Amino acid sequence: MLANKHVLVLGLGESGFAAALWCCRQGARVRVADTRTAPPYLAVLQQRVATPRSGIQGVQSPGTNWQFEFIAGEFDKSLLVGIDILVLSPGLSGGLMVVIHARAAGIPVIGEIELFAQGLRELAGTKSVAPVIAITGTNGKTTTTALTGHLLAAIGQRVGVAGNISPAALTALMEFQDNGALPDVWVLELSSFQLETTESLAPSAATVLNISDDHLDRYIDLNDYASTKARVFQGDGVQVINRQDSRVKRMMLAGRKAMSFGLDAPTNSSDFGLQEVAGSLWIMQGEQALLPVDELAMSGLHNAANAMAALALCCALGFDATRFVPALKSFKGLPHRVEKIAEMDGVDWYDDSKGTNVGATVAALEGLQRKVVVILGGDGKGQDFSYLTKAVKRHARAVVLIGRDGPLIEKTLVNCGVLMESASDMSDAVKRAKKLAQRGDAVLLSPACASYDMYRNYEHRAQVFVAAVKELS
């Protein structure tokens, strides 16, 4: 399908690298463009592809004597000369003028996940192809993806876990091919950016875990964002629905098999939920008690929801839920996602630096089920912080504010009746939180904001937080 096609790959990040290498391996002639003169994957791509050449000024039409070329600089419609297919990296907007020109010229604009889907269909002609589980949502998708892969591997399935979680889907596919054994099941984490350019994935089971404000700098509004997430339900696979999220519930399609999960009691035999049994809260499938929530190694009720989503996705492939109980107990979660890092003087300290939007922070506050001193603030990305009000009022003992949008959060929460203090930096925030917390409380870094106003990324923010907590102990 790609042999002798002329392909333009825009953006040489992890996804763009995988797409470019895949297209070259399929016999395409590939032009890669990036605004950076030395993007991080360029050197390794040049090593992996035969007869590479690079240029910074000007574009030559694809000829017969090369397979790959790299063009650095601002994107220009001259990049489209001789091009049959444009592969757009997920970090780049479909509103770029070069993309608009491509569509006007009738050039298909697709993404790396669409190339993956097409590659799987081509494999279907030669051998049995593994089912695909696809996972998206505003929050919890990386944890749920990793957990789903963990559950399936624990019962002996060979699993390909890839996508937004890393590695890229095509990188994983090429590695499996090179090793001579394809997986039994694919588990893909998909972002809304990836879904924008995906048309034909048709997973065997898929879920949208939840929808809340995020990436509104890229989408017209929350409805536009939600409709992009709903693209994960393309095809006729099983829909796994969060029955307590009204936007997700509206994504249910007539005639499609569906399973649901929620923090309430399940309503039928295939659905998952929580119910009190002999004084303890249990994860249930229908009327069958699977395990107590407090036996999960992950903290918070939001992680119980993630666990039930993972179970439902696995069961959608025909497996029995009871087979996964031991693996559920052993999964410890992922770093920087309501991760317990310390206990001092009867107070537990949690790193949820990955809580970069309001929905994630609300879930963390509600999930800990105790009074919390929460550290909020950073780059708010234009979010509506009023959605924090109810959870802060109910669960927070105090709020410590950091970063550029700390004052905006304070203004929004001023009538919550909760003590608020502003901190000059993370060390100051941790010291203030320690003074405000009482025995039995939790201190939670869950900023509801991106980190770029103060830190390199959310991992760096977490490192600074952990170091500040260690200084107190």
Cα–Cα distance for residue pair 69/32, rounded to 1 Å:
6
Active site residue 164: yes
List all residues 6 or more positions away from 49 whose beta carbon is below 8 Å from its beta carbon. Answer: 20, 21, 24, 30, 67, 68
Secondary structure letter of residue 105 according to DSSP: T
Secondary structure letter of residue 250 according to DSSP: T
- Give the residue carrying structure tokens 């409805």: 223
SS (H, E, C) 187-217: EEECCHHHHHCCCCCCCCEEEECCCCCCCCC
Q: Can you read off the two tokens belonging to residue 236?
A: 């006729």
Q: Can you read off the two tokens belonging to residue 169?
A: 């889907």
Cα–Cα distance for residue pair 133/159, rounded to 1 Å:
10
> What kind and span of H or E run contains 135?
strand 132-136
What is residue 280's three-state secondary structure? strand
Which residue among 6, 139, 150, 164 is the active-site one? Answer: 164
Which residue among 141, 354, 381, 434 is the active-site one? Answer: 141
Cα–Cα distance for residue pair 256/226, rounded to 1 Å:
19
Which residue among 6, 150, 210, 215 is the active-site one? Answer: 215
* Residues noted as catalytic: 141, 164, 215
